[in-house]
Amino acid sequence: MLDAIAEHRRIAVVGLAKNAGKTTTLNALTAQASGAGMRVAICSIGRDGEREDILTRLPKPAITVPSGSYCVTTDRLAGGLELIEPIDQTGVLGRPGVYRCPAGSGPHGRTVELVGMNRITVARAALSVLDRLTDLVFIDGA
């Protein structure tokens, strides 16, 4: 699967409906790329990784950030992650930033809740940082 995407710097995982498998696909791609030695990041244009969908009240799959990999979330949701660079914005769920999952976070990394890239200014700032730090950025297209 990595052969099909290796020439790209950013991959958006999108679907036409809820429960279409976007997060499951995102987790599989991230794990495979990280396992192949690529420096990866995960971010979302909405809110992902929460236990329950706020609209349907159905359970949602967790999002796993591999050890040593990066993500975009907010200070209120980043428990245990290392802040790399804050983004000069404030949202309902806190201040967004680029975070790194510490290298000693277990064999699979950490589950996280992604939020923060809901404005173009935040997305541009976050992607600028991630482009410097990583080989490949996965975007969960809520």
Whether residue 106 has pLDDT greater than 80: no
Burial class (CB in 10 A: 0-12, 13-18, 19+), 126: buried
Taking the alpha carbons at both ends of the chain, their separation in whole angstroms is 22
Residue 7 pLDDT level (bands cut at 50, 70, 90) = confident
In this prediction, residue 122 carries a pLDDT of 87
DSSP class of residue 66 equals P
pLDDT at position 107, please?
63
Per-residue CA distances from 139 to 57, 61, 82, 83, 106 (Å):
23, 16, 20, 19, 23
Check residue 98 and give its pLDDT. Answer: 96
Q: Report whether 121 contacts 89 (CB < 8 A).
A: yes
Instruction: Indicate whether 30 pLDDT > 80.
Output: yes
Do the beta carbons of residue 111 and residue 129 sit within 8 Å? no
CA angle 71, 138, 96 (to 5 degrees): 30
pLDDT of residue 105: 66
Instruction: Output DSSP code: residue 102.
Output: -
Rounded-to-integer distance, Cα 31 and Cα 53, Å: 23
Q: Would the pLDDT of 14 be above 70? A: yes
Of residues 6 and 17, which shows the higher confidence score?
17
Q: Average per-residue pLDDT in the chain? A: 86
Radius of gyration for the chain, computed over Cα atoms and rounded to the nearest angstrom: 14
pLDDT tens string 43-93: 988 888 788 877 788 888 888 999 999 999 999 999 889 999 999 887 778
